[in-house]
A and B are shown apart, each in its own frame.
Chain A
């Protein structure tokens, strides 16, 4: 499986799209230097918002461009036959592709975090009195959880990738899952209020309750707002949220591997 991981990694880092996304993210990171100046006191918070959003958005763009095309390209260009003719099982193929993708993301996140840290060091030294609530650990905490989010999102991309051969359909399914997953906790909260119970039919409310267990709760990995204010989660919460991301991804990948095992490759 290692060769597959390294090939996927090399294929990813050689992609021109990746560098385009890098340039865009770095531009947003540097934009934080200008935008922070528009604010009065919490300059650190605004700078962190910009930097974290740039990293997070870059992660989403890489997923939507690179990851979505990964399996579709193998099927389209028939390179999958070459891979599967080697002593690699279909299950190993799914896991190898996924882990290879994660190494690409790890590379991207390390690079972007490094650059954003340099910008933050500069801003912090320039406006030392306006970085009161800033905390490096909290910043890295938000990046870490964003990586977990990307980990879950990519497992879903792999899942839809083995179901459909079209990268566009995969993208549509993935975006829908991301939007639903990101807003599901707000919807659940709405249902729990009196207004929500009145306006929704009981069957709809039950359907949403079922969906909440199927769709990942992406909001659980969004620590950008609290991290921008220097707040840290407890060790138990840290472990719990990480475990949730890992368990969900493993389940989705196991399902993807099962489906791919039975899939007829024409």
Chain B
């Protein structure tokens, strides 16, 4: 009897030891992996062959690797360096070669490479590659048009792609008239808000939703103030001296908060911008050609 009890006791002790060791190795290995991250992506030419007839599954796992890599950094609000974005871009370019029809790859990478890192040309290249395989999907020319128009300030190319998108069955009817109205929308936050709302409605990951929601709130705040500036201009036939004047004259009830921690500022043109440049402080320095371009 006592032998059985000591046997059970020993087993319980061993299980407790196992649990302790497991949680230690789990965290310790995670930290070690982070320090020694190789950031190497298997070239698609190789992974295509190595995946044998499981290319679709290989693409899923590789995209998951990219989502977790960037998602984890966003979640922890860590600095995303240029090298990190290089690594992420390489993953995406490998995934689209494994499965060029997989829309999640384009959806996620376009959002991250434009709003997140300002790598507009990479985003366009990825979308153009996807368009070759998905010619009946309006979302590809639509997103390319948006990047040209909104981020690269090329209204002509933007209009060209919106027109292509509008002719594809299933495209929203608004696209048909959008191409001709691009000049009006130039630099208008409404346009970006519409796109962000579309992306948000299609997004399922809570971390990425939060990421888009933050930007959406910031742009909605800027738009609210801009609309108040327009009203002020109609009422007083001049631009306000400061945003505070909008509140003083009761045109704006309260000043919206910039979720990035900056302060909204009134530009000479009457446009509204923020001292945060609509970007998280740690990312601001590292993202070349960052989203500071947005409101220009």
Determine if B53 and A226 form an interchain contact, defined as CB atoms under 8 angstroms apart.
no
Residues of B within 8 A of A38 (CB): 64, 67
Given contacts A35-B60, A225-B99, A229-B101, contact A41 B107 (CB under 8 A): yes
Interface residues of A in 1-49 (CB under 8 A from B): 35, 37-42, 45-46, 48-49
A222-247 residues with Cβ-Cβ distance < 8 A to B are 222, 224-226, 228-229, 231
Interface string of A143-158 (1 = CB under 8 A from B): 0000001000000000
Q: Does B55 lie at the interface of the complex (its beta carbon under 8 Å from any beta carbon of A)?
A: yes
Inter-chain contact A53/B57, CB cutoff 8 Å: yes
B190 to A: closest C-beta gap in Å: 25
Q: Find out whether the CB atom of B203 lies under 8 angstroms from the CB atom of A46.
A: no
B53 lies within 8 A of A218 (CB): yes
Cβ of A225 and Cβ of B56 under 8 Å apart?
yes
- Report the separation of the CA atoms of residues A209 and B280 in the bound assembly, to the nearest whole angstrom: 56
Asked if B64 and A56 make an inter-chain contact with CB atoms under 8 angstroms apart, the answer reads no
B56, A53: Cβ atoms closer than 8 Å: yes
Q: A45-B102, A225-B101 are in contact. Are A40 and B205 (CB under 8 A)?
A: yes
Q: Majority SS of interface residues in chain B?
A: helix
Are the C-beta atoms of B202 and A40 separated by less than 8 Å?
A: yes
Question: Do A49 and B53 touch across chains, with their CB atoms under 8 A apart?
Answer: no
Tell me if B54 is interfacial: C-beta within 8 Å of chain A: yes
From B49, B57, B101, B104, give the contact of A40 (CB < 8 A).
B104
- Is residue B277 contacting chain A, with contact meaning CB distance below 8 A? no
- Which residues of chain B from 24 to 62 have any CB-CB distance to chain A below 8 Å in the complex? 45, 48-49, 52-57, 59-60
CB of B211 within 8 A of chain A? no
From A132, which residue of chain B is reached at the shortest CB distance? B103
Q: In the complex, what distance in Å separates the CA atom of A222 from the CA atom of B51?
A: 12
A182 CB–B CB distance under 8 Å: yes
Give the residue of A46, A190, A224 whose beta carbon is less than 8 angstroms from that of B53: A224
B108 touches A (CB below 8 Å): yes
The answer, yes or no, to whether A66 is at the interface (CB within 8 Å) is no
Q: How far is the CB of A59 from chain B (nearest CB, A)?
A: 10
Report A-chain residues with C-beta under 8 Å of the C-beta of B49.
182-183, 186
Residues of B with C-beta under 8 A to A49: 56-57, 59-60
Contact residue among B57, B67, B103 (Cβ-Cβ distance under 8 Å from A42): B103
Query: B204 an interface residue at 8 Å Cβ cutoff?
Result: yes
Contact B56 A45 (CB under 8 A): yes
- Give every chain B residue within 8 A of A134 (Cβ-Cβ): none
Provide the residues of chain A in CB contact with B102, threshold 8 Å. 42, 45, 229
Given contacts A40-B107, A41-B104, A41-B107, contact A219 B205 (CB under 8 A): no
Pick the most buried of B57, B59, B204: most chain A CB atoms within 10 A of its CB.
Answer: B57
- Assuming the contacts A40-B107, A40-B108, asked whether A52 and B67 have C-beta atoms less than 8 A apart, the reply is no
Name which residue of chain A comes closest to B99, CB basis: A225
Contact A40 B52 (CB under 8 A): no
Q: List residues of chain B with CB within 8 A of the CB of A40.
A: 104, 107-108, 202-205, 208
Give A231 to B57 CA distance when docked, in angstroms: 17
Least CB distance from B171 to A in Å reads 15
Are the CB atoms of A56 and B101 closer together than 8 Å? no
Closest CB in chain B relative to A223 CB, distance in Å? 9
Cα–Cα distance between A182 and B58 once the two chains are bound (Å)? 15
In the bound assembly, the distance between CA atoms of A192 and B208 in angstroms comes to 42
Q: Is A50 an interface residue (CB 8 A)?
A: yes
Beta-carbon contact of A228 and B56 below 8 Å: yes
In the assembled complex, the Cα of A40 lies from the Cα of B205 at a distance in Å of: 7
New A-B contacts (18) at CB < 8 Å, excluding given A41-B202, A49-B59, A224-B55? A39-B204, A40-B202, A40-B203, A40-B205, A42-B102, A42-B103, A42-B104, A49-B57, A49-B60, A50-B57, A178-B52, A183-B52, A186-B48, A186-B49, A218-B53, A222-B55, A224-B54, A231-B101
